[in-house]
Amino acid sequence: MRAETLELCCCPECYADLALEPGYESDGCEITRGSLRCDACGERYAIDRGLVFLTRDNHEWRLLRKEAQEWGKYADWDTIAEEYFDQLPYFAPSGAKQDNGFDADTYWGIEALMTAWNLDVLRDLLAGVERPAIWDIGVQSAWTSKLLAKHLSGARVIASDIVDQDNFGLGVPKKVFFDRHDIFFERFISDVHWRNLKRESMDAVYAAMTLHHFEYLQQGLDNIASVLKPDGVFCAAEPIVDLSCDKYTNSYETDNWVKHGIREMSYYFTDYYQFLANAGFKDIRMYPYFLLDERAKPDGYNRDLMLPYYPMPQRYVAECRGPRKALFDMMASFEFREFTTPFYVFIYASKTRSLEGLDRVFLMRDVRARRLVQAARYEFMHHPGRAEAIGAEGDGSRDGQTPCAVR
């Protein structure tokens, strides 16, 4: 942790300012060991290995600690070389139970393209903001935070998760990312449902495939809205469930929940609209992933068949006459058999800022998406250490230039 970050964070118990206690240790880059104290309520929070533990000593946190331990066991991350972490999402390690290599049809391939797109969007939205503060939530090993810090010049990135292990969680960045890429970002061990950042202190909040792990989505989005500046932007990439799915069954009977205690909830796209609006967001935009990759678009849809499955009282979303009504109809009416793979969406929201320009951005998707696909493939084929890791050679990008979206 760096001392300058104290101006952004607060006590999760009483929301007062925190102060660094004397006697801390530093490695010249950051404070590696010490503690923070809240003078208002007297609570202390540890700093260890540069990680800030903004947690509460209660039953809820003990359950989260159990879940954090299971995340590491679930994927066998301790068997994976450090180089693989540095290549995510452009190369999926076999221990992550995904096929090796870049393929836009796989989970990691979709993550790569959605991340490349969102980096491009955030760069545009934050243009002109000096040293933008970005909260990256649910980061696991923080490869998204690495990309944010690397590609958004001057950004003050705060990565947060409940996992602190060196072999998988927020212990990874310091030993893998910082020296290799000459970057730095903060790492907070905390729960997104608790506010530990000051009100209206963030220019952007980013969530990559994270929201469906919120057991209490409304509480989490309320917290996100509270720390965003009025013109700040919430940006997310998320899988959603078909409206014919039973949300309770789809959440609580998954293997990850039953076997590992890993929370995986199921939310309809209407849930996201409703909860974001409840949190105070005024301009809410949601775009299907297939706008970037036509191969992901189902063959057809039947609005009349699926409309009854709209969760009440949110049916008004389906019946609205706004400019994106066609997308509402389409997302609402896919038949269950068409959901052989998760249905991915981009989510953007702001409390006061107009995001209308994003509609034009997605209309330009053909040109930009081709460039982003090329960028992601370039990153995969030319990432340092990839040839040694899997014995493959890259094919280069057009004219030998690295595409600008993911350099």
Do 170 and 218 lie in one domain? The reply is yes
Is residue 160 a part of any domain in this protein?
yes
**pTM check: above 0.75:** yes
- Name the residue among 168, 81, 74 with its Cα closest to residue 390: 81
Residue 309 and residue 351 in one domain: yes
**Is the domain of 132 the same as that of 276?**
yes
Same domain, yes or no, for 256 and 109? yes
pLDDT at position 87 is: 73
Asked, for residue 383, whether it belongs to a domain, the answer is no
Asked if residue 159 and residue 43 are part of one domain, the reply reads no
Tell me, what's the pLDDT at 72?
60
pLDDT, tens only, 249-280: 555 455 555 455 566 777 877 788 889 999 99
Higher pLDDT, 332 or 291: 291
Residue 224 shares a structural domain with residue 260: yes
Closest CA relative to residue 106, chosen from 260, 346, 273, 295: 295
102 located within any domain: yes
Residue 404 lies inside a defined structural domain of this protein: no
Cβ atoms of residues 208 and 111 within 8 Å: yes
pLDDT of residue 396: 28
| Residue 315 forms part of a structural domain | yes
| Range from 50-59, 61-70, 93-102 carrying the lowest mean pLDDT | 93-102
Where does a domain end: 53, 73, 88? Answer: 53
Q: What is the pLDDT of residues 326-373, one digit of tens each?
A: 555 555 555 444 444 457 889 999 999 999 888 777 766 555 555 555
User: How many domains would you assign to the chain?
Assistant: 2
The reply to whether 29 and 143 lie within a common domain is: no
pLDDT band at 10 (very low <50, low <70, confident <90, very high): very high
CATH code of the domain covering residue 350: 3.40.50.150
Which structural domain, as residue segments, surrounds residue 300? 59-369
Q: Is residue 137 part of a domain?
A: yes
39 and 70 assigned to the same domain: no
Same domain (yes/no): 208, 279: yes
Does residue 387 sit within a domain? no
- 37 and 220 Cβ atoms separated by less than 8 Å: no
Q: DSSP class of residue 152? A: S
pLDDT tens figures, 396-407: 222 322 222 322
β pairing state of 44-48 and 51-53: antiparallel
Q: Would you say residue 351 lies in a domain?
A: yes
Q: Are residues 16 and 110 in the same domain?
A: no
Identify whether residues 48 and 163 lie together within a single domain.
Answer: no
Considering the domain architecture, whether residues 12 and 123 belong to the same structural domain is answered as: no
What pLDDT is recorded for position 88?
72
Give the residue among 376, 248, 361, 243 at the shortest CA–CA distance from 302.
243
